[in-house]
Each structure stands twice: as structure tokens, then as C-alpha cells.
């Protein structure tokens, strides 16, 4: 496979990756905050459901799990979004490193 890259192509690609990295990083703070809030919503909902439930300790736990499944799923999905965004950021960083190597090779 032959790539005919010019120094301008490499610089342009690196600038585009840098912009993409900045955009993704900006949104990470909100995703992390949303994940923390979703996990706390789940924790409070579970505790409330557990304290209101009747029965043995084990029955109360299971009732609380059943009553808070939506909150747990929201929290898990919010945390998955944070992990996914971090993977995207890592991928772009690797692509930037490859671009730097290509730039050095062209010199």
C-alpha cells in the first residue's frame, strides 16, 4: 500500500484530529457529571425502595432491585458513555501519534 502524502496533507490531518480531540474532550465533562448524577439517583432510589419493602432482608433486596432497574440501567449506560468517549479520545491520540511519525518520516 502506497500513500503519497505531502507535508501539507499531514499537517492538515493533524489539525483536523486536534479539532476532533478538542470537541470530544469538551463533552467528556458533561458525560462524567451525568454519570455521577445517574449513579446517585440509582443509589437513592434503591435505598428508598429497600427501606419501604417488607419481608426478609433477602426479599427486601430483591424487591429493591426490581423497583430500581430503570435507574440502574440509566446509571450503567451513563458510565458506558463515559468509557466510550475515553476510548474515542485514546483512538484520536494514537492517530495523532501516527501523523507525527508520518510527518517525521517525510522530513
Q: Which backbone phi and psi does 68 adopt, to 5 degrees?
A: -120, 20
Beta-carbon contacts of 33 under 8 Å, excluding residues fewer than 6 positions away, are none
pLDDT score recorded for residue 1: 46
Distance, CA of 63 to chain centre: 30
pLDDT score recorded for residue 3: 65
In whole angstroms, give the CA distance from residue 34 to residue 82: 9
In tens, the pLDDT along 6-25 reads 888 888 989 999 999 998 99
Can you give the three-state secondary structure of 2-16, one letter per residue?
CCCCCHHHHHHHHHH
In tens, the pLDDT along 42-88 reads 999 999 999 999 999 999 999 999 999 999 999 999 999 999 999 99
In whole angstroms, give the CA distance from residue 81 to residue 83: 5
Amino acid at each position: 500500500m502506497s500513500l503519497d502524502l505531502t507535508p501539507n496533507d499531514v499537517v492538515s490531518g493533524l489539525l483536523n484530529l486536534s479539532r476532533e480531540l478538542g470537541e470530544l474532550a469538551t463533552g467528556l465533562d458533561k458525560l462524567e457529571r451525568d454519570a455521577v448524577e445517574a449513579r446517585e439517583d440509582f443509589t437513592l432510589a434503591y435505598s428508598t425502595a429497600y427501606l419501604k419493602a417488607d419481608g426478609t432482608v433477602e426479599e427486601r433486596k430483591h424487591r429493591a432491585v426490581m423497583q430500581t432497574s430503570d435507574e440502574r440501567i440509566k446509571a450503567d449506560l451513563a458510565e458506558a458513555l463515559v468509557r466510550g468517549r475515553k476510548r474515542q479520545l485514546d483512538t484520536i491520540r494514537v492517530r495523532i501519534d501516527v501523523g507525527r511519525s508520518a510527518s517525521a518520516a517525510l522530513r
